[in-house]
Amino acid sequence: MTLDETAAQALAEVGEVLQKALPRQVEVMAGPIREARRIVLYGVGREGLMMRSLAMRLFHLGLDAHVVGDMTTPPVGEGDLLIVSAGPGQFSTVMALIGVAKGAGASTMCVTAEPGGAAPAVADHVVHLEAQTMANDQGGATSVLPMGSLFEAAQFLFFEMLILHLRDIMGVTPEAMRANHTNLE
């Protein structure tokens, strides 16, 4: 397979994930985000990078969004929302953070490719992106993208669709979003 053919296949795979997820999963995610007083996000590895990307965009919308582990992340409590990513359905740190958030009275949401996993089972809200992760990247039909890259690529574009949806229903203009972008670059 040529590089062009591989790229076309990768784009088709990401498109298929989005086609299955939109618009239903955007609605599942948008409601709790709009209701939250504060939003804190977490993910491990490359999924963590996608969660940081989402946190930035939520901030651009004017929402109070933070990333677990940043020194300025406030405590969560009643009215807050912890959003975690657990593509394969479970990570020990994700499970621990869900427990802490629930114990503090916060609501929890899990973005996953495995809705039957341990983390989604204990989360208040589950967003399902049907994509290959490292949990199922061997044998049978696999993505042209390595390991969990299909899930991560789909997350990035799905989160951007979520932001466009939230922007529209919240009445935030592109100019207002740009005004929230840092000038320290």
Q: Tokens 């498109």 belong to which residue?
A: 15
Helix (H, G, I), strand (E, B) or coil at 99: helix
Per annotation, catalytic residue among 13, 47, 114, 152: 152
What are residue 15's DSSP bridge partners? none
DSSP H stretches of helix in the chain: 3-21, 24-35, 45-60, 92-103, 118-122, 149-170, 174-179
Q: Annotated catalytic, 16?
A: no
Take residue 101 and report the two structure tokens written for it. Answer: 């958030």
Euclidean distance between CA atoms 172 and 178, whole angstroms: 10
Residue 180's nearest CA partner among 31, 43, 37, 61 is 61
With H, G, I as helix, E, B as strand and everything else as coil, classify residue 132: coil
**Which residue numbers are catalytic?**
152
